[in-house]
């Protein structure tokens, strides 16, 4: 038995310390109360959770759930605590298990006309969990439902608007009209999240206007944490606009002002390093020093609770790239990027010094063997890297061979088309178009159209819409007809599909509607804006080498002082005699005569002994 009574223990739990002077005493008091075997352990455990969770003791709260599982099972309200704890600890499997036992299917819950307080709390935790693991579509769907069913004001409208826009900022820019909550310009949180949506759409000027308004509001409230966050976003937008000096000035100011242990510090250092040229061929680049400046230990120690899913992935990707080109060793993790880099560093001895041709050859031979052995274990990231290296050195034929060999085996093994098979299909279509291989492109698209079904179309609607338009571009109306009619049945509100199919969607593509689509297009205006006309794909490559004619040297005409103006000037007066047109080579007569041949007169005179000169008498030579 414990020495203290229940009343004193509960009073200690009720005391809140902002500076966390005695954080572990809370945990020990909880254990003392639960081990005392009081008659109402549920009330004690509820008090423990309400004290531990706000303090951030999620690991200890999980320990209590496991240790006193029977006590937690007797009370259904503990399920919400359990969900929240697993959400904070990023235990995805545990969270899904508890969610299924408590709420069941999310779609069924969202189809209800109204929800009670307990169900609203479950939906909030689910939306936060989805946002944390990167399922932004599901998170946005939940927040939109909560905003539409907030007639009684159970939730604060501004908070719902912020959460709704935070999830939408990672989705397609064209879905901004789906927001339910109105924009309240008196809330800097709403303005901040609205600016992120504008920047994702490419409207940087609109994003900057919203951020300036938010900055004025947060300065009035003197909230330092939100002020730093808004200034960091302003620096990012200015960098996207090309105002590097202003952006760098803001980042340096934040770096000097913010605590070094803040979760914003790795983002600030990363953005500052992005201004530098970190090329592997730059002699002034010291990548191990860059890793030290980035403070990789701090980045790795931060958990995903401090960053969004995309921010965490980007930070980890930056660290991996720097380690790779610094020739540092790292372990292969679950992500595709880390597995690819680990395999890359094993195949290539020195990533920084090996030429691209050598690297491309090594990866091509490796992937060729891997695909022939087993497609599923070939390594998706390594295949993409091998294709990229072939394109880098200009060897498009090898890039096409790798993509073709993968797609041929993958389409046979997986007719439903996995996500990576669709990625490789995109890549192969682009390679065919780049190298102008029209016949191979037609054959590949026809094979894809043969695998089309309503089930595969519902999994990736945009991919099959892309295939349909490619078939239209190649004038394959039969397969395109089948795709677009099925796509119009799956998504009747899609404007592009609707414009192609037209009114007669049950029979065939309404080609007469094409004239009305292009009637309002101003071709001259498009050409003035810099748009290039489409070129017909031909199998033969066009020669881009043109012969440049040498320019002849034009000499200035010069005449002597006593030149006769009436007499024509010899244009070849400056040329050597042998180069002039009137120069004739004198033929030399050979001394040899063939037997029976004709002689000239000079040769006959040389043979006449009477005309030869007499030689003088030889003087008598003396004795030797």
**Mean pLDDT within 482-486:** 83
Phi-psi region of 263 (alpha: psi -120 to 50; beta: other; left: phi over 0): alpha
Contact 132, 152 (CB under 8 A): no
pLDDT computed for residue 479 by the predictor: 82
Among 386, 390, 383, 391, residue whose Cα is nearest residue 407? 383
CA dihedral 420, 426, 429, 432 (to 10 degrees): -80
pLDDT computed for residue 622 by the predictor: 52
Instruction: Quote the tokens at residue 463.
Output: 């991919």
Q: How far apart are CA 568 and CA 499, in angstroms?
A: 78
Q: How far apart are CA 623 and CA 145, in angstroms?
A: 141
Query: What pLDDT digit, counting tens, does each position of 209-219 carry?
Result: 999 998 988 88
Task: Using a pLDDT cut of 70, give the percent of the chain over it.
Answer: 74
pLDDT computed for residue 51 by the predictor: 74
pLDDT computed for residue 17 by the predictor: 42
Q: How far apart are CA 304 and CA 458, in angstroms?
A: 32
The b/e string for 522-544 (b: 16+ C-beta within 10 A; e otherwise) is: eeeeeeeeeeeeeeebeeeeeee
Contact 450, 549 (CB under 8 A): no
Contact 47, 75 (CB under 8 A): no
Q: What is the 3-state secondary structure (H, E, C) of 72-89?
A: HHCCCCHHHHHHHHHHHC
pLDDT computed for residue 88 by the predictor: 84
Query: What pLDDT digit, counting tens, does each position of 80-96 carry?
Result: 888 888 888 888 888 88
No. of helices (H) and no. of strands (E), the chain = 32, 0
Sign of CA dihedral 588, 589, 590, 591: negative
Check residues 592 and 400 and name the one with the higher pLDDT: 400
Q: How far apart are CA 272 and CA 266, in angstroms?
A: 10
Query: What pLDDT digit, counting tens, does each position of 160-201 carry?
Result: 888 888 888 877 666 666 788 888 888 888 888 888 888 888
Instruction: Quote the tokens at residue 465.
Output: 């819409």
Count other Cβ atoms within 10 Å, centred on residue 283.
Answer: 6
Q: How far apart are CA 76 and CA 616, in angstroms?
A: 149
Query: What pLDDT digit, counting tens, does each position of 288-321 carry?
Result: 777 777 777 766 666 555 677 777 777 778 888 8
Instruction: Quote the tokens at residue 374.
Output: 């087993």
3-state secondary structure of 4: coil
Q: Is 120 exposed, middle or buried (0-12, 13-18, 19+ CB in 10 A)?
A: middle
The b/e string for 366-401 (b: 16+ C-beta within 10 A; e otherwise) is: bbbebbeeebeebbbbbbbbbbebbeebebbebbbb
pLDDT computed for residue 550 by the predictor: 63
Model confidence at 25, in pLDDT bands (50, 70, 90)? Answer: low
Q: How far apart are CA 500 and CA 443, in angstroms?
A: 23
Contact 26, 51 (CB under 8 A): yes
Model confidence at 509, in pLDDT bands (50, 70, 90)? Answer: low
For residue 9, is pLDDT > 50?
no
Contact 134, 311 (CB under 8 A): no
Least confident of 223-237, 261-275, 382-396, 507-521: 507-521
Phi first, then psi: what are they for 99, rounded to 5°? -65, -45
Least confident of 26-40, 117-131, 192-206: 26-40
Query: What pLDDT digit, counting tens, does each position of 400-459 carry?
Result: 998 888 888 887 777 777 788 888 888 999 999 888 888 898 888 888 888 887 777 777
Model confidence at 535, in pLDDT bands (50, 70, 90)? Answer: low
For residue 21, is pLDDT > 50?
no
Contact 370, 378 (CB under 8 A): yes
pLDDT computed for residue 220 by the predictor: 86
Task: Using a pLDDT cut of 90, give the percent of the chain over it.
Answer: 4
pLDDT computed for residue 491 by the predictor: 78
Residue entry with tokens 């007669």 = 504
| CA 329-335-336 angle, 5° bins | 90
Phi first, then psi: what are they for 489, rounded to 5°? -75, -35
Model confidence at 502, in pLDDT bands (50, 70, 90)? Answer: low
Q: What is the 3-state secondary structure (H, E, C) of 549-591?
A: CCCCCCCCCCCCCCCCCCCCCCCCCCCCHHHCCCCCCCCCCCC
Instruction: Quote the tokens at residue 100.
Output: 């299924």
């Amino acid at each position: 038995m414990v020495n203290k009574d229940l009343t004193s223990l509960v009073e200690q739990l009720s005391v809140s310390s902002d500076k966390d002077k005695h954080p572990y005493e809370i945990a020990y008091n909880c254990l003392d109360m639960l081990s005392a075997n009081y008659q109402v352990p549920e009330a004690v455990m509820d008090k423990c959770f309400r004290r531990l969770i706000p303090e951030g003791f999620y690991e200890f709260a999980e320990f209590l759930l496991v240790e006193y599982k029977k006590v937690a099972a007797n009370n259904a309200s503990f399920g919400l605590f359990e969900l929240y704890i697993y959400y904070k600890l990023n235990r995805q499997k545990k969270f899904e298990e508890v969610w299924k036992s408590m709420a069941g299917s999310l779609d069924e819950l969202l189809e209800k006309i109204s929800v009670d307080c307990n169900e609203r709390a479950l939906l909030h935790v689910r939306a936060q969990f989805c946002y944390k693991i990167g399922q932004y579509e599901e998170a946005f769907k939940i927040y939109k439902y909560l905003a539409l069913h907030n007639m009684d004001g159970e939730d604060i409208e501004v908070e719902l608007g912020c959460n709704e826009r935070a999830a939408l900022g990672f989705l397609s820019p064209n879905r901004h009209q789906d927001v339910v909550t109105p924009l309240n310009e008196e809330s800097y949180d709403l303005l901040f999240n609205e600016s992120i949506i504008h920047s994702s759409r490419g409207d940087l000027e609109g994003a900057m206007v919203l951020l300036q308004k938010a900055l004025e509001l947060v300065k009035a409230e003197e909230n330092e944490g939100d002020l730093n966050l808004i200034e960091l976003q302003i620096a990012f937008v200015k960098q996207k606009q090309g105002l590097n000096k202003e952006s760098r000035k803001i980042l340096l100011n934040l770096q000097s002002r913010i605590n070094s242990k803040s979760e914003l510090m790795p983002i600030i250092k990363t953005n500052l390093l992005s201004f530098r040229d970190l090329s592997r061929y730059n002699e002034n680049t010291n990548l191990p020093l860059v890793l030290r400046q980035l403070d990789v230990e701090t980045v790795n120690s931060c958990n995903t609770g401090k960053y969004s899913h995309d921010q965490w992935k980007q930070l980890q990707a930056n660290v991996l790239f720097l380690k790779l080109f610094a020739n540092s060793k790292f372990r292969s993790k679950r992500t595709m990027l880390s597995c690819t880099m680990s395999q890359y560093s094993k195949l290539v001895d020195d990533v920084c010094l090996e030429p691209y041709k050598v690297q491309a050859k090594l990866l091509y031979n490796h992937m060729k063997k891997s695909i022939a052995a087993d497609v599923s274990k070939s390594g998706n990231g390594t295949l993409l890297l091998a294709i990229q290296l072939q394109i880098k050195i200009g060897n498009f034929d090898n890039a096409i061979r790798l993509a073709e060999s993968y797609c041929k085996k993958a389409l046979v093994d997986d007719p439903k088309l996995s996500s990576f098979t669709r990625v490789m299909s995109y890549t192969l279509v682009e390679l065919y178009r780049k190298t102008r291989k029209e016949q191979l492109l037609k054959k590949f698209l026809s094979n894809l159209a043969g695998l089309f079904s309503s089930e595969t179309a519902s999994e990736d609607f945009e991919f099959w819409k892309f295939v349909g338009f490619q078939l239209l571009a190649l004038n394959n109306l039969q397969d395109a007809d089948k795709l677009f009619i099925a796509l119009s049945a799956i998504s009747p509100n899609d404007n592009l599909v609707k414009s192609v199919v037209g009114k007669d969607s049950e029979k065939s593509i309404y080609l007469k509607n094409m004239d009305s689509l292009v009637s309002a297009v101003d071709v001259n205006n498009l050409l003035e804006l810099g748009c290039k006309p489409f070129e017909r794909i031909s199998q033969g490559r066009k020669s881009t080498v043109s012969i440049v004619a040498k320019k002849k040297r034009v000499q200035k005409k010069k005449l002597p002082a006593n030149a006769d103006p009436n007499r024509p000037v010899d244009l070849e007066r400056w040329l050597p005699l042998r180069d002039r047109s009137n120069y004739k080579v004198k033929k030399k007569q050979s001394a040899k005569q063939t037997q029976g041949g004709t002689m000239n007169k000079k040769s006959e005179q040389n043979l006449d002994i009477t005309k030869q000169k007499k030689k003088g008498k030889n003087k008598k030579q003396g004795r030797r």
